[in-house]
C-alpha cells in the first residue's frame, strides 16, 4: 500500500511539474500576399472546408483545444502541428517554388482520395472535420483544377 501511494505521489508531482514546461502556441502572422486562399481567391465553401479540416495543422491559424494545454497531451499535439506545417503550410504557399506547389497539390488530392487526411486521430476529436464523400470530391476537384490549368 505504501509503495502504491508513493507511486501516486510521485506521479502527481511529475504531472504538476511538466505543466510548467513552456510550449509555444502562438501563431505566426499570416501575410495575405502568400496566403493560399488569398492568392487563388478560393471560393468561400472550399475555404471553409480547408479551415475546418486542415488549417489546424497546415496553416498559421491553429486553434488549440482546451486539452492542448495539458502536458503531455500538449506535446503530442504540438508535434503533429509542427510536423504538418513542415510538410505543407497554406499560409506561406506563395513562397513555395513551382515544383513544390505541383507536388503539394498532387499530394493533397491523393491524401483526400485515400482518406489519409485529415489524420484519423484528429477526426476522432473533431467530428466536424470528418469530411463527407461530397466534401472530399469538392476539395479534390478544386485542387485538380488548379493542377490542370497549371495556374500555380
Cα gap 10→116, rounded to integer Å: 39
| 8 A C-beta contact, residue 91 and residue 67 | no
What would the x/- binding string for ligand HEC be over residues 112 to 151, using CB under 6 A? x---xxxx--x-----------------------------
Q: What are phi and psi of 123, to 5 degrees?
A: -60, -35
Binds ligand HEC by CB under 6 A, chosen from 59, 108, 142, 146: 108
Query: How would you classify residue 131: left for phi > 0, otherwise alpha for psi between -120 and 50, otherwise beta?
Result: beta
**27 Cβ contact list (under 8 Å, min separation 6):** 60, 61, 62
The stretch among 21-29, 31-39, 48-56, 67-75 that binds ligand HEC (CB under 6 A) is 48-56
In the bound complex, what is the minimum distance in angstroms from residue 39's beta carbon to ligand HEC?
Answer: 16
75 binds ligand HEC (CB under 6 A): no
The reply on whether position 25 binds ligand HEC by CB under 6 A is: no
Position among 84, 89, 91, 142 found at the interface with ligand HEC (CB under 6 A): 84
Kindly indicate which of the ranges 26-34, 50-58, 59-67, 92-100 contains the residues binding ligand HEC, using the contact rule CB under 6 A: 50-58
- Cβ-based neighbour number of residue 109 at 10 Å: 19
Phi-psi bin for 138: left (phi > 0), alpha (psi -120 to 50), beta? alpha
Contact 55, 90 (CB under 8 A): yes
- Report the residue from 37, 53, 71, 146 that binds ligand HEC according to the rule CB under 6 A: 53
> Which residues of this chain interact with ligand HEC, rule CB under 6 A?
53-54, 56-58, 80, 83-84, 87-88, 104, 107-108, 111-112, 116-119, 122
Amino acid at each position: 500500500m505504501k509503495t502504491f501511494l508513493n507511486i501516486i505521489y510521485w506521479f502527481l508531482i511529475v504531472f504538476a511539474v511538466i505543466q510548467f514546461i513552456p510550449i509555444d502556441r502562438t501563431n505566426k502572422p499570416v501575410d495575405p500576399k502568400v496566403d493560399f486562399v488569398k492568392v487563388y481567391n478560393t471560393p468561400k465553401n472550399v475555404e471553409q472546408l480547408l479551415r475546418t479540416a486542415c488549417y489546424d495543422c497546415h496553416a498559421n491559424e491553429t486553434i488549440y483545444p482546451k486539452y492542448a494545454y495539458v502536458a503531455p497531451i500538449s506535446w503530442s499535439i504540438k508535434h503533429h502541428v509542427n510536423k504538418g506545417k513542415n510538410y505543407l503550410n497554406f499560409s506561406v504557399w506563395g513562397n513555395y517554388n513551382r515544383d513544390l506547389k505541383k507536388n503539394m497539390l498532387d499530394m493533397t488530392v491523393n491524401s483526400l482520395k485515400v482518406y489519409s487526411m485529415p489524420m484519423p486521430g484528429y477526426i476522432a476529436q473533431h467530428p466536424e472535420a470528418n469530411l463527407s464523400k461530397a466534401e472530399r470530391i469538392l476539395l479534390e476537384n478544386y485542387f485538380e483544377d488548379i493542377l490542370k490549368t497549371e495556374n500555380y
